[in-house]
Amino acid sequence: MNALKRPFLYASVWLVLAVFLSQSFAGQRTIGKEEIDALVRLRLTPNRNVDLTNRLERIPAAIDLGRRLFFDPRLSGNKERSCSTCHKPAHSFGESLRLSPGLNGQISRKTPSLVGVGRMRWFFHDGRSDTLWGQAAEVIESPHEMGGNRAAVASLLKSEASYRQLVSQLPSHGATGDGAALVTAAKSLAAYVNTLDFSPSRFDRALTKTEGRWVLVSGVLSDDEVAGARLFIGRARCVACHRGPALSDSLFHNLGLPVPSARSELDPGRYAAATGLSSREFGGVGAHSDDRSSGRRKVESVFADGSSWGAFRTPSLRNVGSASSFMHDGRFGTLEDVLAFYSKLEGQQVGHHDSGLLSPIDLSDIELSQLASFLRVFSEKQAAK
């Protein structure tokens, strides 16, 4: 090749490469360091929560026992429902229907996914349980949900050989009195559910650290998904509450959702729950707790006042792509419906003397679909372990 042609060849190679690379980086071309930092804070990191009130939390025998009990319908009153009846493994341990059927009609609040629930600080939509094991115990005895009772749980743990054997391997813990077996079951269930954690998603793979700096890996997220990510941490401000690896602050907020006309009562949410925290039988402060002082500190940190009326727990968004319904009462059927609400706040209800938490974000149609695409990136199928 003569001297003139070689540079030309190199130039055209570079040109082609440049075009190719520029296409790949199109979405990330203008993403700044602060935005990368904000996205990095959403990356999945190991769950560091430890529930001191549940000594069985990481005991292998308890996890094993909990896993078996999770699928055991004999925990329920009519022997036909297990935890997995509503918390279906194939649906990220959530419900495939909009709302779950209960024992006396439909359960009014949506069944949440249990994946990653160990990262939360409060349990149930209204946070009325300060511990995961307390939530399990309450549901087992709830006449609307499982209709079980502690005596039946006690005899189940005694009669079933494998359960007897696993229970004998458990260390002693704070279960006392006639609730002891129920608490053992509940703490074991919590130990198992605690292992149901998020798996790294395509989002988590899209960020990598090179030479000490975080960068967005090209080609992992589409341009639309990147645009959605920038809305999530930027103008749409989702990250204000849906933050951290779980995409939830595990706190309580009242969005001012409009009241559907068919309802007869508004749901007080956190307000009603907060006042009962310190007197819960199955809780961090109660007799069955393995660390009452941390339980007490947690319960005392709660403001139980009118500002928490109608507030519900921020859900994790990591499984939102596979959810069948959204909001505490399952009122929205699609992610797009949720985003449409946040976009316009149509019908938002704010008390006259209050200011609402949200302002409308006014998404265009394209932006709405970009945000939805981004959120769907996190979803995954979680198989039963």
Partner 1 sequence: MRGFACGYHTALIFTLALGGAVAPSLAGEPPFPNELLYPNVVPPTRQFGTYGQGLGAFSEPTGACFLSPDRLAIVDTGNRRVQVVSIDGEGLYDFGEKTEGADGKPSSFVSPTAIACDEKTIAIADAGSSEVHLFDKAGRLLKTLGGFGTQAGRLNEPSGIAIGDDVIAVSDTGNNRVQVFDREGRLKAAFGAYGTGQAQLNRPLGIAVDGSGDIYVADSLNNRIQKFNASGSLLKSWGDWGSHAGFFATPSSVTSRGQHVYVTDLTNHRIQVFDRHGNFLFQWGRHPVRGHEGQGRTHYPWALAVNEDESKFALVEPVENRLQIFEKVELAKTKNVNDSAWWDKATRFHYGSRPEIGGNLMAISEPDTHSVLVFDISNDVPTLVSRLGGRGSSLGKLIEPSGMVVNESKGEILVTDAGNLRLQTLGLVKAPSAELAGVSTPLGYLTDLGRAVKATHTAFLGVPVSDGKVNVEKVEKFAAISSARPLTVELKSAERVIYPGALKRAPDGELYLYDQGQARILVLRDGVVRTSFGGYGTEPGKFRSVHNMSFSKDGKRLFVVDPYNFRVQILDRDGIFISAFGRPGHADEEFSSIFGITSGLDGFIYITDETKHCIYKYTEEGKFVARWSRWGTEPGELYKPKGIAQDARGRLYLLSFGNHRGEIYSTEGKHLGSFGLADPDTSRGKEVMEILTSRPAYAVSAKSMLQRDVSSLLNATRVSKATAAALQMTSNADNYVVRVSSSQPLSSMDATKTLLVSVARKVDGKPIDVELEFSASMPAHNHGLLDRPQVKKTGAGKFEIAGVTTPMEGLWELYFDIHNRLENERAQAAIFVR
Binding footprint of partner 1 on the chain (CB under 8 A): 239-241, 243-244, 249, 251-252, 256, 259, 261, 263-266, 268, 297, 300-303, 305-307, 309-310, 345-360
Q: How many CA atoms does the CB half-sphere of 108 hold within 13 Å? A: 9
Residue number with CB closer to partner 1 (185 or 345):
345
**In what helix (H) or strand (E) does residue 105 lie, and over which residues does it extend?**
strand 105-106
How many other CB atoms are there within 10 angstroms of residue 260's CB atom?
9
Phi and psi, residue 328, nearest 5° = -65, -25
Residue number with CB closer to partner 1 (80 or 300):
300
Q: How many CA atoms does the CB half-sphere of 300 hold within 13 Å? A: 7
Residue number with CB closer to partner 1 (195 or 349):
349
Shortest distance, position 348 Cβ to partner 1, whole Å: 6
Residue number with CB closer to partner 1 (228 or 310):
310
Shortest distance, position 301 Cβ to partner 1, whole Å: 4
Q: Is 269 helix (H, G, I), strand (E, B) or coil?
A: strand
Shortest distance, position 354 Cβ to partner 1, whole Å: 7
Tokens of 189: 């269930």
Concatenating the DSSP letter of every residue in 76-98 gives: STTS---HHHHSBGGGTTB-SSS
Largest CA distance in the chain: 94
How many other CB atoms are there within 10 angstroms of residue 148's CB atom?
25
Shortest distance, position 238 Cβ to partner 1, whole Å: 11
Residue in the block written with tokens 């009241």? 259
Residue number with CB closer to partner 1 (61 or 207):
207
CA 9 to chain centre: 54
Report how far residue 74's alpha carbon sits from residue 71's, in angstroms, rounded to the nearest whole number: 9
Q: Look at residues 70, 59, 372, 385 and name the one whose alpha carbon lies nearest to residue 238.
A: 372
Residue number with CB closer to partner 1 (180 or 357):
357
Shortest distance, position 131 Cβ to partner 1, whole Å: 17
Shortest distance, position 189 Cβ to partner 1, whole Å: 27
Residue 105: left (phi > 0), alpha (psi -120 to 50), or beta? left
How many other CB atoms are there within 10 angstroms of residue 206's CB atom?
21
Strand partners, 88: 94
Cα separations in angstroms, 366 against 26, 87, 144, 237, 370:
17, 34, 42, 17, 6
Q: Is 209 helix (H, G, I), strand (E, B) or coil?
A: strand
Shortest distance, position 365 Cβ to partner 1, whole Å: 20
Residue number with CB closer to partner 1 (40 or 327):
40
Tokens of 250: 């595990």
Residue number with CB closer to partner 1 (140 or 311):
311
Shortest distance, position 225 Cβ to partner 1, whole Å: 22
How many other CB atoms are there within 10 angstroms of residue 357's CB atom?
14
Q: Is 222 helix (H, G, I), strand (E, B) or coil?
A: coil
Residue number with CB closer to partner 1 (206 or 345):
345
Residue number with CB closer to partner 1 (73 or 244):
244
Shortest distance, position 6 Cβ to partner 1, whole Å: 50
Shortest distance, position 353 Cβ to partner 1, whole Å: 6
